[in-house]
Amino acid sequence: MGKKVGAEYLGERKYRFRVWSPFAEKVQVILKDSRKVVDMKKDERGYWEAEVNNLSQGTFYKIRLDEEEEYPDPASRSQPEGVHSWSEIPNSSYTFEASGWKGRAIDEMVIYELHVGTFTPQGTFTAIINKLNHLAELGVNTLELMPVSQFPGDRNWGYDGVYPYAPQGSYGGEQGLKELIDTCHQRGFSVLLDVVYNHLGPEGNYLSQFGPYFTDKYHTPWGSALNFDDEYADEVRNFFIQNALMWLEEYRFDGLRLDAVHEIIDRGAKHFLKELSQEVDALEQKTGCRYMLIAESDLNDTRLIRAYRNGGYGLEGQWVDDFHHSLHTILTGEGAGYYKDFGKMEYLAKTFRQAFVYDGIYSTFRKRSVGNSPLCLPKTQFVVSIQNHDQVGNRLLGERLSKLVSFEKQKLAVGMLFTAPYVPMLFMGEEFGETRPFQYFVSHGDKDLVKAVQEGRKKEFEYFHHGKEGGHTDPQAEETFKSSKIDWDYKKDTSKITLFEFYRELLRLRKEGAFRLFASSQVKTEFNEEKKWLRITSEEEGGSLFGLFNFGDEVTSWNPSETSQVEILFASADKKWGGPGTFENLWNPDDGIPAGSFVIFKF
């Protein structure tokens, strides 16, 4: 177990301050109110520490290096005055009520991704509590919070965080976050946190002043890579591993979503992700709780989730972009950028069977072969979605699926999501067809940085503009943030109510095991590229499950060869779901499957 960093409470108003700065000659803690200066002692690994008596919660402090510059603590737990100001010893006295909560396995999860600042009008942790009834009624059981580590200003996606240990002050800080997690557990919800261990934001990032947290050996889209395998890397790795353990043990998150792990560059004998996984395993033994680590990666590499004994990193799950891209391109006809690698019914069928389309085959967009086979792994280790913050927010105008396709095709997409044998994830508001955009927004204080971000976003869409000219929104403008907030007056719109009920019913059927046979390794798929239909069949002794998904513009017929009666389990085009048809319990071959709809049969 590595050393904890930051300000740690030792009891009886005593705190230990510890910071890593291997090249400094002298390091001191500066207390704001008293201007007291406390010298720290250095160990052989470059850690400086000091114990200070008679301190109270709410004390402000900084770290002074070599009797010159003063900086916030890199492991600050609270930055109430912003990223450039004093660190604070927060109120850590919260008492958790859900003491018996032990977590849930990934294969039991139905995940709901949300951005704290735009999910509610208030944009706080505690305001989310008021929406738990809605989420319970919907049928999800796991919340996934986009990054909440302290960032510049009061609006940001969270991927520009610069204090990994400090929950964003404008969201409610430590107390608000702990109350949210505790209440969720009391209500039966798991809570995951999106964490960023591949870079830090540019504004307020003082890590380099303290030591070699970054390396020029490698470069990422955000600049120099974090130092996970160069000289002094052990302490950098420890900084982020201790951060992960803090979220899990002290805040009681049920797991972490690890952002863009393909940009965590480590060529050492034990990859950072494997070390992290093993440390989390040890924490499970200590606490008796179950924690999930879920990676985002565009490499389609099963090494992330393979067991240690099979040369893997032992993570519990990973996102699958191929599922989203295959479905999105068929629904919308879009083919710019990385979407050019998709758009085939063949690929949609393949991703339903085995998650990865790119399992070692050649990618036209990347101009190389990508991925390896996932067939040896449980399908419940893969997380899929039809919308998420990346695929909505990184569009030119941040349009959701509800603005891109018809109501019927929205339901068709939902049918694919909930009948597929993977862990489903929803993006906030999609359950009632939210039409407000989700756009990229920041509130930087550095004018040059603001200009760079504005120009960078424009450049990003030079090749991937989704067929639209102009219309760029300003990430710095407050209106961009406000327009991305969820509109909770959806019950004024009957189609939105219908869509919500549609989601809820499909989730109910899923939880009851209605689509279980589609998870079989013996599942079969057929498709027609011209007419754009997909058939899915799975059989076992005692029954069969059959799905027909019609992505085309014409009615598709199906006349079963079986002499027995075929029962309709679910039909998206039924009038009760706002569709054009009426479907009885038993299938009538004369009816056909309307364009942009699906029917699930059992016989």
Q: Report the distance separating Cα 260 and Cα 199, nearest Å.
A: 10
**List 296, 322, 390, 408, catalytic entry:** 296
**List 49, 203, 235, 259, catalytic entry:** 259
Q: Report the distance separating Cα 29 and Cα 545, nearest Å.
A: 66
Q: Which residues of 532-570 are buried (b: 16+ CB within 10 A; e: fewer)?
A: bbbbbbbeeeeebbbbbbbbbeeebebeeeeeeebebbb
Task: Give 3-state DSSP helix, strand, coil % of the chain, rounded to 5.
Answer: 30, 20, 45
CB atoms within 10 A of CB 203: 21
Contact 410, 456 (CB under 8 A): no
- Phi, psi dihedrals of residue 355, rounded to the nearest 5°: 75, -65
296 is catalytic: yes
Q: Report the distance separating Cα 104 and Cα 430, nearest Å.
A: 24
Q: Report the distance separating Cα 48 and Cα 68, nearest Å.
A: 16
Per the listing, tokens 């009834």 go with 133
- Phi, psi dihedrals of residue 440, rounded to the nearest 5°: -80, 130
Contact 158, 148 (CB under 8 A): yes
Per the listing, tokens 């695929």 go with 391
Please choose, from the candidates 300, 369, 354, 387, the residue with its C-alpha nearest in 3D space to the C-alpha of residue 111. Answer: 387
Amino acid symbol at 472 = H
Segments of 377-438 assigned E as strands:
382-385, 423-427
Q: Specify the pairing of strand 87-88 against strand 60-65.
A: antiparallel
Contact 542, 554 (CB under 8 A): no
Beta bridge partners of 143: 112, 191
Q: Quote the tokens at residue 421.
A: 């044998």
Active-site residues, by number, are 259, 296
